[in-house]
Structure 1
Amino acid sequence: MYDKWSKILSHTVLFKDIDIDSINSLLQCLKPPVHQFQKNEYITIDGDPFTGIGIILLGEATVVKENVAGNRIMVNLLKQGDIFGEMIAFSNRNTWPVSVSASCDTTVIFLPRDKITGNCSNICFSHQELILNMLGLVSNRGLLLNKRLEYLSLRSVREKIATYFLEQYDKLGKPKFKLPMNRNELAEFLNVTRPSLSRELGKMRDEGFIDFERSSISLVDVDSLKEIIS
């Protein structure tokens, strides 16, 4: 039952350097459940029992967190091959700290943490590789979360927009790109209101910093954007 998912998993960080045949053997050993979710259906709910490390096999999902006031903050967007739940997999917490909802019809495989770290009856090399990949994933995610905390500490809407756009510029290596999310999702991601985001984007276009058409963004003056966050 796992054969059709092995190729997708082979492209994930968790299964890096593990060949497809070994992945199939690992899955037969781990026996992780695979679940399908409809659009807008919750995959996990904040406070529910932790069910294992999730990997998106098909579809997309949104990671959200509610603050004490009940306001939703989008933490991350998940696409095919993306992983979630790894930060709490080896903690003493037994419940999900965030909610994850399907953005469209989505298929997810859950790897139980006790089976990942438990003794493998076959003592296979690929299982050891999986554990090492898991340690690397957790370490790198911790570094990214530290950066995320710094990112969210920015006060003005303009600083947040400039920082996000410059990160996309550095990542893609070009001043014109397509946003990976719509305006509502971007507003949630930056922790600002949709009207404030639209208003500031309009001002930045009028002042010659950027240009945009729908989801396509052009950074007209990269140096000036860097000055905003300096």
Structure 2
Amino acid sequence: MYAKWLDKLKNVKLFENIESDELNRMLLCLKPKVVFYKKKEYVTMSEDEFIGIGIVIKGEVIVTKENAAGDRVIMAKLKENSIFGETIAFSNNDKWPASVIASTDCTVLFLPPDKIVGNCPRMCIGHKLLIQNMLRIVSQKAIELNRKIEYLSMKSIRSKISAYLLEQYNIVGKNKFMISLKRNELAEFLNVSRPSLSREIIKMKEEGIIDFYKSSFEIIDIEALKLNI
């Protein structure tokens, strides 16, 4: 039943170090639900009943939340092998804290959290690894959410742009890179208007700090970029 997804699921951090045969047995035991969504369709909406940890096994989704003014803020853009819902899965809350929207046609596997924490009747060999992986993932997500709060707390648009570009630079280790967010998505992620974002990056280009073309960015003067934060 889940065999056709094994090659993809082996690349998911939640199943790291779990052999294919063991993973297949675990899936048969856990009985996750696999759902297909069309582009722009809601995978889940904020305050919907929580149905399980989502794993993107094909396509891309964006995680969004409305701010106090009612504007949509993009929390994350998730590609294949990414996970969402892990921070709520083991809490006392039974509602989704944010909305998840398909940014392309996509397939999502929903894993019931109650069986992850030890109620699996067979207690598969890979179960301990699964729990260890989940703890690492939740810890990493907490770090990412903390970075998101730092972005939102910055007062100037330039400081937000600079912090984001420096983070991408540190991730890839090169001064030239592609970002996964489109211009409107980046504006929503940084919680600024798209026109204001565009004006600021144009100014930064004119000042010789960065160069860009669509989703491709190059850091020309990294020290100047650091001074903007």
* Alignment CA distance shift 1:187-1:104 (3 Å): same
Q: What amino acid maps onto 1:29 in structure 2?
A: C
Q: What amino acid maps onto 2:156 in structure 1?
A: S
User: How much has 1:12 moved relative to structure 2?
Assistant: 1.3
Q: What amino acid maps onto 1:10 in structure 2?
A: K
Work out the number of aligned pairs and report it.
229
The residue aligned with 1:167 is: 167
User: How much has 1:150 moved relative to structure 2?
Assistant: 1.8
CA distance in structure 2 between the aligned counterparts of 1:50 and 1:42, rounded to whole angstroms = 14
Q: Deviations over 1:108-159 (max 9, x none)?
A: 0000111212433322220121111111211221122122212221110000
The residue aligned with 1:179 is: 179
CA distance in structure 1 between the aligned counterparts of 2:147 and 2:181, rounded to whole angstroms = 20
Q: What amino acid maps onto 1:65 in structure 2?
A: K
CA distance in structure 1 between the aligned counterparts of 2:46 and 2:217, rounded to whole angstroms = 34
CA distance in structure 2 between the aligned counterparts of 1:139 and 1:214, rounded to whole angstroms = 33
Q: What amino acid maps onto 1:169 in structure 2?
A: Y
Superposed CA RMSD: 1.0
**Does the 8 Å contact 2:55/2:109 carry over to 1?**
yes
User: How much has 1:35 moved relative to structure 2?
Assistant: 0.2
Q: What amino acid maps onto 1:74 in structure 2?
A: I
Q: What amino acid maps onto 1:66 in structure 2?
A: E
The residue aligned with 1:102 is: 102
Q: Deviations over 1:78-105 (max 9, x none)?
A: 1000000000000000000000000111
Please give the residue correspondences for 1:1-230 in structure 2 after superposition, counting only pairs within 5 Å: 1-229=1-229
Q: Which runs of 5+ in 1 are unaligned?
A: none
Q: What amino acid maps onto 2:29 in structure 1?
A: C
Q: Which moved more, 1:142-151 or 1:21-30?
A: 142-151
CA distance in structure 1 between the aligned counterparts of 2:120 and 2:38, rounded to whole angstroms = 34
Q: Which moved more, 1:126-135 or 1:183-192?
A: 126-135
TM-score, normalising length from structure 1?
0.97
CA distance in structure 1 between the aligned counterparts of 2:31 and 2:132, rounded to whole angstroms = 20
Q: What amino acid maps onto 1:119 in structure 2?
A: N
CA distance in structure 1 between the aligned counterparts of 2:55 and 2:126, rounded to whole angstroms = 18
User: How much has 1:218 moved relative to structure 2?
Assistant: 1.0
Q: Which moved more, 1:46-55 or 1:59-68?
A: 59-68
Q: What SS does the aligned partner of 2:192 have? A: coil
CA distance in structure 2 between the aligned counterparts of 1:190 and 1:159, rounded to whole angstroms = 10
* Alignment CA distance shift 1:127-1:80 (3 Å): same
Q: Which moved more, 1:214-223 or 1:200-209?
A: 214-223
CA distance in structure 2 between the aligned counterparts of 1:112 and 1:53, rounded to whole angstroms = 7
**Does the 8 Å contact 2:204/2:210 carry over to 1?**
yes
Q: What amino acid maps onto 1:105 in structure 2?
A: D
Q: What amino acid maps onto 1:137 in structure 2?
A: I
**Does the 8 Å contact 2:2/2:27 carry over to 1?**
yes
**Does the 8 Å contact 2:75/2:148 carry over to 1?**
no
Q: Deviations over 1:179-209 (max 9, x none)?
A: 2111001100111000000000110011110
